[in-house]
Amino acid sequence: MTLAASSLAANRADGPIEWRISARPIDYPDALAAMEERVETIRAGRARELGWLLEHPPLYTAGTSARAEDLLAPTRFPVFSAGRGGQYTYHGPGQRIVYLMLDLQRRGPDLRGYVWRLEEWVIRALRQFGLHGERRPRRIGIWVVRPDGSEAKIAAIGVRVRRWVTFHGLAINLQPDLDHFAGIVPCGITEFGVTSFADLGLATTMAELDDVLIGTFPEVFEGTRGTAPASSLVS
């Protein structure tokens, strides 16, 4: 599969990067192959940077730090080695996956700053829907506080960089089946749960979320307002 295949419902080529939105769930191996190909063409100067918004069928992915004991239900859904950083995570319908293929050699070869910007991007997007997303030390991803005072993850982040071109990215829980997360220890964290827009009582569409993500991207990645503090650290 290539990113020029028929899985793409929309192609927004205007603006600083190209945006593509897939109409149907994309099989994980096909997504990996497409990202690999695009990264190489970006490196070679033959393609623009790309933001790819999609969903996957239900599956688990294992990052480079995944521990076997954190896969609690190994036969529930297909399990794939992701090649990204991090541990186990779940992907499935109702979850917006955002794969970013950006040239950090051009933008600034700073991996910590890049992860900070991913976090900031999600935080600003959530704010548009009245959600207060927060970072937590030593807990990668974006967290919210539920009405009962408990904390839960609403967005996961996992990245990979090859010769300063990024791929993989983030996953935002819009309205996935949260029971599907029970087959793993998400990101190796047992003390806290996961949540979603729907779980928090928000009836938001995927198209609305996509519009906000695309709209807030330049604030963080293209403008000075998105400059990462020098002290920012990936935890």
Question: Could you give the residue numbers annotated as active site?
Answer: 187
Please give the Cα distance from 96 to 68 (Å, whole number): 26
Which element (helix H / strand E) includes 159?
Answer: strand 151-162
Say if residues 142 and 122 touch (Cβ distance below 8 Å).
yes
C-alpha separations of 49 from 15, 161, 182 in Å: 11, 14, 35
The Cα 24–Cα 6 span in angstroms is: 10
Residue 175, CA distances (Å) to 26, 35, 38, 150, 160 in order: 17, 25, 29, 19, 26
> Which SS3 state, helix, strand or coil, does residue 28 take?
helix
Q: Could you give the CA distance from residue 55 to residue 198 in angstroms, rounded to a whole number?
A: 16
Question: Amino acid identity, residue 27?
Answer: D
Q: Would you state the structure tokens that stand for residue 193, as one six-digit string?
A: 């749960």
Which residue, among 102, 55, 88, 232, has the nearest Cα to 158 in the 3D structure? 88
